[in-house]
């Protein structure tokens, strides 16, 4: 038997993943025409919004013409709750998912049988890109249910030819036990939950670094490279980033390769990605920051035309050492909605994280608390002390304040917490508590 995971050059769909740019663009144009036709003919919302903008699918002659079409935003999904964004009768769908949303109604998304096949294949492709191989044992600790993470990774793992353990999130001691007993090769979970699993394992006296698990396929929340280094060290794995959102598909819209771990290959044969300046909404150049806007090319049940993700990132067309030709998303800074303005300075939680994680004396568990002092916003940073640093909390706290001020440019008050005092995540971590309202 060959060693599992030995074939480093493996690709799930080599032909698609290494397509020449011209072929990729010709494919995009053909599929885009179909997607616009589907949206216009079958979703009243698109009929109305295209008409209002004075465009019709017939106006699409080149890929550049996509910019003439209007954006779709989250409130469009809420306004058409629950099923009016669907381009197929509800009876023809075989699955719906929904995101809880912090305010108001959830957003609902739906899939035909063909859509689920596309999703499973894209997840299989993403997981293979991240280092999973047919025959691997996959410990899937993404939440099952309305969240797309659990079932997305589940179907993807099966399509790749792996054995999937459908753990879902939570019951962390049990996760440690089964990871150990089954000798899983791959751990799928959010980065923050990965850290939680490592910590609980430590408490149980299990050294996860010695287990066979070799890759973490981790996403669903922003995480810094500094956090990645912590997670890789704590779990003894390579941690690879995966991206997606329910409105567009679920996980599997883009994935890092484990060869380079240098940005996420965005699957351009199924989506068109634009990065737009957040003020002017004009395209930015290669490597420049902006909001990611995505159009689906293959989804029949719920086509999304120019969906404004709110995710802030940059993309590059620089070739990758792995040989895949799809452009890369250079990881995520955060969401537009998460941006805090502290006394005039724009700050994302991930910037604070990048400074904090790795400073001596701290552990990678933190929360940002936003308060208001008079008319000004103030930031309190709650950070757990590294158990080994014991009595030095005051000095470490001052150190953190100094580094955040000099690297991020904001003044914050640091409150050092005892080990275990910052809440642990079992899915998406809550990094900001906004007490201003």
List of residues contacting ligand DLL (CB under 6 A): 99, 142, 147-149, 219-222, 241-246, 250-251, 309, 311, 332, 335
Minimal CB distance residue for ligand DLL: 219
Closer CB to ligand DLL, 76 or 385, in the complex: 76
- What is the closest distance, in whole angstroms, from the C-beta atom of residue 395 to ligand DLL in the complex? 33
Ramachandran angles phi, psi of 89, nearest 5°: -55, 140
Closer CB to ligand DLL, 12 or 243, in the complex: 243
Closer CB to ligand DLL, 38 or 192, in the complex: 192
- What is the closest distance, in whole angstroms, from the C-beta atom of residue 126 to ligand DLL in the complex? 9
CA distance 129 to 117: 18
Structure token pair of residue 394:
């005051």
Closer CB to ligand DLL, 221 or 269, in the complex: 221
Closer CB to ligand DLL, 184 or 309, in the complex: 309
Closer CB to ligand DLL, 335 or 403, in the complex: 335
- What is the closest distance, in whole angstroms, from the C-beta atom of residue 338 to ligand DLL in the complex? 8
Closer CB to ligand DLL, 136 or 221, in the complex: 221
Structure token pair of residue 157:
């793992």
- What is the closest distance, in whole angstroms, from the C-beta atom of residue 5 to ligand DLL in the complex? 21
- What size, in residues, is the chain? 437
Closer CB to ligand DLL, 175 or 309, in the complex: 309
- What is the closest distance, in whole angstroms, from the C-beta atom of residue 205 to ligand DLL in the complex? 30
Closer CB to ligand DLL, 240 or 322, in the complex: 240
Q: Are 152 and 252 in contact (CB under 8 A)?
A: yes
- What is the closest distance, in whole angstroms, from the C-beta atom of residue 153 to ligand DLL in the complex? 7
Structure token pair of residue 412:
């914050």
- What is the closest distance, in whole angstroms, from the C-beta atom of residue 242 to ligand DLL in the complex? 5
CA distance 69 to 61: 13
- What is the closest distance, in whole angstroms, from the C-beta atom of residue 405 to ligand DLL in the complex? 26
CA distance 115 to 301: 7
- What is the closest distance, in whole angstroms, from the C-beta atom of residue 152 to ligand DLL in the complex? 6
């Amino acid at each position: 038997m060959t060693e599992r995971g030995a074939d480093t050059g493996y690709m799930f769909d080599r032909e698609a993943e290494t397509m020449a740019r011209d072929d990729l663009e010709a494919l995009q144009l053909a599929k885009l025409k179909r997607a616009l036709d589907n949206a216009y003919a079958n979703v009243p919302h698109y009929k109305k919004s295209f008409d209002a903008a004075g465009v019709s699918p017939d106006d699409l002659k080149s890929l550049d013409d996509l910019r003439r079409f209007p954006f779709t935003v989250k409130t469009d999904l809420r306004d058409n709750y629950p099923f009016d964004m669907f381009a197929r009768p509800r009876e023809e769908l075989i699955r719906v998912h929904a995101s809880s949303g912090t305010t108001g109604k959830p957003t609902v998304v739906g899939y035909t049988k063909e859509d689920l096949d596309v999703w499973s294949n894209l997840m299989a492709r993403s997981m293979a890109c991240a280092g999973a191989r047919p025959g691997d044992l996959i410990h899937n600790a993404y939440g099952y249910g309305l969240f797309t993470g659990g079932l997305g990774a589940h179907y993807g793992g099966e399509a790749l030819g792996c054995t999937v353990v459908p753990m879902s999130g939570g019951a962390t001691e049990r996760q440690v036990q089964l990871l150990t007993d089954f000798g899983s090769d791959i751990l799928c979970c959010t980065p923050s939950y990965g850290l939680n699993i490592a910590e609980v394992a430590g408490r149980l006296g299990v050294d996860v670094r010695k287990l066979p698990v070799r890759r973490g396929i981790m996403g669903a929340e922003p995480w810094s490279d500094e956090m990645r280094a912590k997670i890789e060290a704590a779990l003894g794995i390579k941690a690879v980033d995966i991206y997606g959102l329910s409105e567009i598909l679920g996980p599997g819209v883009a994935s890092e390769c484990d060869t380079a771990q240098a940005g996420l290959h965005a699957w351009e044969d199924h989506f068109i990605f634009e990065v737009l300046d957040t003020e002017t909404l004009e395209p930015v150049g290669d490597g420049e920051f902006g909001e990611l806007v995505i159009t689906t090319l293959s989804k029949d049940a719920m086509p999304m035309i120019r969906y404004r993700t709110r995710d802030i990132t940059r993309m590059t067309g620089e070739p990758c050492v792995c040989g895949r030709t799809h452009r890369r998303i250079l990881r995520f800074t955060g969401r537009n909605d998460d941006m805090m303005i502290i006394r005039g300075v724009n700050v994302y939680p991930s910037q604070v994280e990048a400074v904090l994680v790795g400073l001596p004396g701290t552990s990678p568990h933190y929360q940002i608390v936003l308060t208001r002092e008079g008319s000004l916003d103030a930031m309190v940073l709650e950070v757990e002390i590294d158990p080994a640093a014991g009595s030095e909390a005051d000095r470490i706290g001052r150190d953190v304040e100094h580094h955040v001020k000099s690297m991020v440019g904001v003044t914050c008050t640091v409150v050092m917490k005892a080990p275990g005092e910052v809440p642990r995540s079992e899915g998406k971590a809550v990094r900001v508590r906004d007490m201003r309202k």
